[in-house]
């Protein structure tokens, strides 16, 4: 299930087995969609505030851990790097990471018996990750609709984006869920990826 969030219309997803992916929708909105569900955890695709702002609220409300790249820490500690300084009164600054499971490299974990594969990415931010849950791949802002995410923000760059696209293209999944906008089938995603690998390789 996709919920359109409150900041820059970022997506929040609830997987079939009640994991929450990204945290840009206020708790009230989320609670309505999760009524009666046993939430297993919160996964964050990267550190920008439109994807992370309500993460601590979710974790506290449902008593679960937040899973994210180890590189997310500097983004959440520093409002300028997570861009929450773009909005008055919305500063996002997290100093206590005891609710977090910070992930190194690529691998797999179980959140309340739900198996999640994770892969470190980059290019949009240093903290980019994608998560594979069953046949669903959650890519955050690495791929958005028929394009790719911005590479001009803090920690973004072309070379890392190129490597990320190559990495994603090797994964098996059915549906790609982006950080903004509609889902893509693997076939559609492969076309976008091929186009941008060519574009970035020039």
Q: Which is nearer to Zn ion, 48 or 177 (CB)?
A: 48
- Check binding of 160 to Zn ion (CB under 5 A): no
Q: Which is nearer to Zn ion, 34 or 42 (CB)?
A: 42
Smallest distance, Zn ion to C-beta of residue 192, A: 17
Beta strand extents in the chain (DSSP E only): 2-4, 11-14, 19-21, 41-43, 66-69, 100-103, 107-111, 114-120, 129-133, 136-140, 143-144, 147-148, 175-178, 184-185
Q: Which is nearer to Zn ion, 39 or 82 (CB)?
A: 82
Smallest distance, Zn ion to C-beta of residue 25, A: 15
- Check binding of 48 to Zn ion (CB under 5 A): yes
Smallest distance, Zn ion to C-beta of residue 46, A: 6
Q: Which is nearer to Zn ion, 40 or 46 (CB)?
A: 46
Give how many residues touch Zn ion by CB under 5 A. 2
Can you say whether the dihedral through the CA atoms of 95, 15, 177, 119 is positive or negative? positive
Q: Which is nearer to Zn ion, 75 or 173 (CB)?
A: 75
Burial 184-195 (b: 16+ CB within 10 A, else e): bebeebeebbee
Smallest distance, Zn ion to C-beta of residue 195, A: 20
Smallest distance, Zn ion to C-beta of residue 125, A: 6
Query: Which long-range CB contacts under 8 A does 74-81 form with residues at least 24 apart?
Result: 74/47, 74/126, 74/127, 75/46, 75/47, 75/48, 75/125, 75/126, 75/127, 75/155, 76/47, 76/52, 79/49, 80/154, 81/47, 81/154, 81/155
Smallest distance, Zn ion to C-beta of residue 67, A: 17
Q: Which is nearer to Zn ion, 62 or 124 (CB)?
A: 124
Distance CA 36, CA 109 (A): 24
Question: Which residues in the 49-108 window bind Zn ion by CB under 5 A?
Answer: none
Residue nearest to Zn ion (CB): 48
- Check binding of 141 to Zn ion (CB under 5 A): yes
Residue numbers at the binding site for Zn ion (CB under 5 A)? 48, 141
């Amino acid at each position: 299930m996709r919920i359109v969030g409150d900041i820059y219309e970022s997506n929040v997803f609830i997987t079939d087995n009640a994991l929450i992916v990204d945290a840009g929708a206020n708790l009230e909105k989320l609670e309505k969609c999760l009524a009666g569900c046993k939430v297993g955890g919160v996964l964050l695709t990267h550190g920008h505030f439109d994807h992370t702002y309500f993460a601590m609220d979710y974790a506290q409300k449902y008593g679960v851990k937040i899973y994210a790249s180890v590189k997310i820490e500097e983004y959440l500690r520093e409002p300028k790097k997570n861009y929450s300084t773009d909005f008055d009164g919305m500063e996002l600054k997290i100093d206590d990471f005891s609710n977090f499971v910070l992930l190194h490299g690529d691998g797999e974990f179980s959140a309340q018996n739900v198996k999640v594969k994770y892969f470190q990415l980059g290019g949009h931010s240093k903290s980019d990750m994608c998560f594979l849950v069953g046949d669903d791949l959650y890519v955050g802002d690495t791929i958005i609709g028929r394009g790719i995410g911005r590479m001009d923000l803090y920690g973004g760059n072309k070379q890392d984006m190129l490597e990320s696209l190559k990495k994603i293209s090797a994964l098996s999944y059915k549906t790609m869920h982006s950080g903004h906008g509609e889902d893509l089938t693997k076939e559609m995603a492969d076309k976008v990826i091929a186009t941008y690998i060519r574009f970035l390789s020039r």
